[in-house]
Amino acid sequence: KAAKEFWLTDGHWADKFQKGLCDFLGIKHCVLCNSGSSANLLAISALTSPLLKDRQLKTGDEVITTACGFPTTLNPILQNNLIPVFIDIELETYNINTLRIEKFITKKTKAIFIPYSLGNPAEIDKIMEIVKKYNLWFIEDNCDSLGSKYNGKYTGTFGDMSTLSFYPAHHITTGEGGAVMTNNSLLKKILLSFRDWGRDCYCKTGTDNACGKRFKQKFPGFPYGYDHKYIYS
């Protein structure tokens, strides 16, 4: 139907899909993108934003991940000049061995980013204990696990962000496509900016001046009133 309408970008079909995902998982925000790989890159990249202040990830910070997983869980860590810290898996589940995580936490550890192997949840309660103890970001690569539950709660709803893939090999498909889910409104704003070429403006496609200040702001190096829609922060 979207193809027949020839509305080929973000629009009312995307809105309906995003709302359906949010309602199903019980999460506030869904940011669609072109693939699950991009969703993973967006999630990690968002954590490098200066808007996060003292929780911003910077070059050389460490991200704990699993030693056995798909390349697109690892690659965003490397692409953002962060250091992956590999934790071995349990052979019975192929998931991260949660008993080993705390041994590898240092002053540079800022986040945990793991997939759930073959849709089987890791020991999320133990991970959450560590995340809270050390004030770490937790990102769930939920691309293989949409619909899986841990202690009665859907995977992808525990962390600060989770990612989904809609490639044909996954549970639901749009042909291609992915999404980042979050309850954090600031992270949603950052994710949208990173997705949309770094644009500071958050107007939806086909919408102008939602903030009411499009021509009423002053940015460093620009004259007063410079069009906010063309500021890339």
Residue 23, both tokens = 């309602």
Angle, alpha carbons 137-80-146 (nearest 5°):
50
**Is 170 an annotated catalytic residue?**
yes
User: Which listed residue (12, 29, 170, 228) is catalytic?
Assistant: 170
Distance in angstroms (rounded) separating the CA atoms of residues 69 and 1: 36
Distance CA 20, CA 16 (A): 6
Those residues whose C-beta lies under 8 Å from the C-beta of residue 217, and which sit 6 or more positions away, are: 224, 225, 226, 228
CA distance 189 to 50: 13
Which of 139, 90, 157, 137 minimizes the C-alpha distance to 118? 90
Task: Cite the active site residues.
Answer: 170
